[in-house]
């Protein structure tokens, strides 16, 4: 599978990273180089193999379903680039 | 008396208890060393005032001889990926510049509770993505190692580049690192120090800036194996705040350093004789086998058949997890914000401005392999191969107790001479990545030098939660290699 310019634009939009037009071509090259190298995985037979998502999943302890922290909106907002009235501020989303 | 900055962590601990010097003297000596070695760019944020205050509190405790804590008064550095309350934490990214966490990571809290003193926050590859420390938004770290009669500056490796440079230069007694694909072990080998990646789940990930959550693990970087044992004992804990943190008890690793490996079975995986393995490293590997054999261990060739697929598997899984973890940097909740007309534009401009080239590349790869239509072909396929790699190790550990390999395929490269092709750069981690995929512990011990005089390391891998065993094998290697003694003769320090 090769990535074309349109795909680079599509991924950049999905990733919410603006890529300047001047960088699209070199990024396309890098991505194709990496994906081309990854392609070798297709030679491994993985029929009937269970995917492994995380080593620890089998022994994960559970806790009681109860609230054990909270009430610190000041701490949550402390690093916000813009906050008002105890809320994050963003550009208007609804016209 | 040896200079205070040349002591190991354990020697400094004993010196404090025996009143040979105070915690404040010890800390002051390290603060001065940080100033002297600033050109290495190991620290992003220095915290001398906090350090002296913590050292003073330790001196008061030491004077009263009350409840002496295991790391009382010992000055250490923290990779700038661990959140430290009210102290700037950058992950070496512009997007987190001036971020002041409102909480403390569990690993660092464990260290402060044990009496350790914070010298500052250490440089790294941006978001721990790199093997050279060249991707940091705060500039590269320079290795304290040089070739005699040669001006070239070398990379310390990465991502924990500041952490290893500080230990090697003596500007911290020990440091913390994180290892997602080799970020503790590879730089430890480049810098001629000890680096331990514990079993996945041994140390809590709470408060560590996330890169690839199923692979990330914190561990110590130290001057010797005994120090690594002491640090890990404190860093490790079960933590209800991290669902993947292990409930298995943490042993006193230092007590497990018996130096006895008689009849221990050492596996030598034939697939680790990878293409591009430096002949000097191959020779060191053979030497390591001889050292362990003369200590009474039994050597056995083993096979880990899926080894060659580990690195490409990693470069699907790690970027996939990273693309998801790094979605939080949106210019709204913390960090950098670049204004936009719409919310989407604000996101896109902020992330374009805030992330460096390598981070963007990995987010893009991760986004692609998780996108509709490609998930099964890439992501799911990689998870299945991850299972095969883990099973390779499971089978191997039915036959042998530990596995011995080189840590890296080459020695450190000079700044400006690094590979320009991303895939060639990724090859640095070819020998370390499999342990992350399998979740098993790995230790890098400095063991020799290239003929030019750059350090080389050997890696010991063990079954899950057998850090004590690999530390003991590392202890034997350390004694056989006499690395420090040889380094003393070689080293041109900065």
Share of chain B above pLDDT 90, in %: 91
Interface pTM, i.e. ipTM: 0.95
The predicted pLDDT at position B88 comes to: 97
User: Could you give the dihedral angle defined by the CA atoms of residues B15, B20, B24 and B27, in that order, rounded to the nearest 10 degrees?
Assistant: -50
Exposure on the CB side of residue B455, measured as CA atoms within 13 A: 37
Is A14 contained in some domain? yes
Mean pLDDT value across residues B306-330: 97
The predicted pLDDT at position A1 comes to: 66
Q: How far is CA B341 from CA A21, A93, B328, B349, in A?
A: 20, 10, 20, 10
- Measured in whole angstroms, the distance separating CA A30 from the mean position of its chain's CA atoms is 19
DSSP letters, B123-150, are --SGGG--SSSTT-TT-----S---TT-
Q: How far is CA B146 from CA B40, B131, B189, B190, B444, in A?
A: 12, 19, 15, 11, 21
Contact predicate B336/B94, CB 8 Å:
yes
- Residues found in chain A: 95
C-alpha closest to that of B157 among B134, B137, B176: B134
Chain B residues with CB-CB distance to A46 below 8 A: 381, 384-385, 388
Q: Where are the beta strands (DSSP E) in B20-154?
A: 43-46, 75-79, 117-122
Under an 8 A CB cutoff, do B316 and A38 touch? yes
- Measured in whole angstroms, the distance separating CA B364 from the mean position of its chain's CA atoms is 25
pLDDT per residue as tens digits for the range A23-45: 999 999 999 999 999 999 999 99
The pTM for the full model equals 0.97
CA distance A71 to chain B (A): 13
- Residues found in chain B: 494
Helix B483-490 to helix B467-481 angle (10° resolution) is 50
Sign of CA dihedral B222, B224, B229, B234: negative
Judge whether residue B298 has pLDDT over 80.
Answer: yes
pLDDT per residue as tens digits for the range B199-213: 999 999 999 999 999
Q: Given the structure tokens 């790869």, which residue do they identify?
A: B365
3-state secondary structure of B481: helix
Is A91 contained in some domain? no
Tokens of B372: 């509709």
Mean pLDDT value across residues B10-34: 97
Out of B247, B343, B348, name the one closest to residue A18 (CB): B348
Identify the band that residue B1 occupies on the pLDDT scale cut at 50, 70 and 90.
low
Is A81 contained in some domain? no
Is A17 contained in some domain? yes
Out of B306, B363, B390, name the one closest to residue A52 (CB): B390
- When divided into structural domains, chain A yields a total of 1
CA distance A31 to chain B (A): 7
Substitution target in B324, B384, B393, B427 with the highest count of A β-carbons within 10 Å is: B384
pLDDT per residue as tens digits for the range B431-473: 999 999 999 999 999 999 999 999 999 999 999 999 999 999 9
B414 DSSP 8-state letter: B
Sequence spans of domains, chain B: 4-267+398-493
Round to whole Å and give the CA distance between B122 and B399.
40
Write out the residue range of the structural domain in which residue A30 sits: 5-42
Is the minimum CB–CB distance between B241 and chain A shorter than 8 Å?
no
Chain B residues with CB-CB distance to A88 below 8 A: 332-333
B111's enclosing H/E stretch is: helix B106-113
Judge whether residue B292 has pLDDT over 70.
Answer: yes
Domain B4-267+398-493 sits in CATH 3.40.50.300: no
Burial class, A86, CB count within 10 angstroms (exposed 0-12 / middle 13-18 / buried 19+)? exposed
Contact predicate B370/B320, CB 8 Å:
yes
Nearest CA in chain A to B314: A38
């Amino acid at each position: 599978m090769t990535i074309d310019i349109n795909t680079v634009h599509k991924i950049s939009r999905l990733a919410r990273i603006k890529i300047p037009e001047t960088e699209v071509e070199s990024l396309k090259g890098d991505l194709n180089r990496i994906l081309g190298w990854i392609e070798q995985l297709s030679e491994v037979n993985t029929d009937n193999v269970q995917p492994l998502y995380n080593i620890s999943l089998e022994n994960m302890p559970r806790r009681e379903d109860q609230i054990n922290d909270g009430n610190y909106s000041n701490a949550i907002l402390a690093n916000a680039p813009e906050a008002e009235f105890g809320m994050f501020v963003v550009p208007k989303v609804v016209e | 008396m040896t200079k205070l900055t040349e002591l190991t962590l354990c020697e400094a601990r004993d010196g404090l208890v025996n009143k040979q010097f105070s915690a404040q003297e010890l800390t002051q000596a390290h603060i001065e060393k940080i100033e002297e070695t600033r050109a290495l760019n190991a620290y992003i944020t220095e915290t001398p005032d906090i350090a002296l205050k913590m050292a003073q509190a330790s001196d008061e405790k030491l004077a009263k001889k009350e409840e002496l804590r295991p790391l009382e008064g010992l000055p250490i550095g923290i990779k700038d990926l661990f959140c430290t309350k009210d102290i700037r934490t950058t992950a070496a990214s512009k997007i987190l510049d001036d971020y002041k966490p409102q909480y403390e990571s569990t690993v660092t809290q464990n260290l402060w509770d044990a009496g350790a003193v914070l010298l500052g926050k250490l440089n790294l590859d941006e978001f721990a993505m790199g093997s050279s420390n060249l991707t940091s938004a705060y500039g590269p770290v320079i290795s304290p190692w040089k070739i005699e009669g040669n001006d070239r500056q070398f990379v310390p490796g990465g991502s924990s580049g500041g952490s290893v440079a500080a230990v090697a230069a003596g500007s911290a007694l020990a440091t913390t690192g994180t290892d997602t694909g080799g970020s503790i072990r590879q730089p430890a080998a480049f810098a001629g120090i000890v680096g331990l990646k514990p079993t996945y789940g041994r140390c809590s990930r709470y408060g560590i800036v996330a890169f690839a959550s199923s692979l990330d693990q914190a561990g110590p970087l130290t001057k010797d194996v005994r120090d690594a044992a002491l640090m890990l004992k404190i860093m490790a804990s079960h933590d209800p705040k991290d669902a993947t943190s292990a409930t298995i008890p943490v042993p006193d690793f230092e007590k497990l350093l018996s130096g006895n490996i008689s009849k221990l079975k050492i596996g030598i995986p034939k697939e680790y004789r990878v293409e591009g393995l430096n002949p000097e490293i191959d020779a060191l590997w053979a030497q390591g086998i001889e050292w362990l054999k003369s200590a009474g261990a039994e050597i056995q060739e083993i096979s880990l058949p899926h080894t060659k697929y580990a690195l490409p598997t990693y470069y699907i899984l790690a970027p996939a997890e990273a693309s998801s973890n790094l979605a939080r940097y949106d210019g709204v909740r913390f960090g950098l914000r670049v204004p936009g007309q719409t919310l989407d534009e604000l996101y896109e401009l902020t992330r374009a401005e805030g992330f460096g080239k390598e981070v963007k590349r990995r987010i893009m790869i991760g986004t692609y392999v998780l996108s509709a239509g490609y998930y099964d072909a890439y992501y799911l396929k990689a998870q299945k191969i991850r299972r095969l790699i883990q099973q390779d190790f499971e089978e191997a550990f039915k036959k042998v107790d530990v596995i011995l390999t080189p840590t890296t395929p080459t020695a450190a490269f000079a700044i400006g001479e690094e590979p320009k092709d991303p895939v060639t750069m990724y090859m640095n981690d070819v020998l370390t990545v499999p342990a992350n995929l399998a979740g098993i512990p790995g230790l890098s011990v400095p063991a020799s030098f290239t003929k030019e005089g750059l350090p080389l390391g050997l890696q010991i891998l063990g079954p899950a939660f057998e850090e004590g065993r690999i530390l003991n094998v590392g202890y034997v290697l350390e004694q056989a290699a006499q690395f420090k003694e040889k380094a003393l003769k070689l080293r041109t320090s900065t």
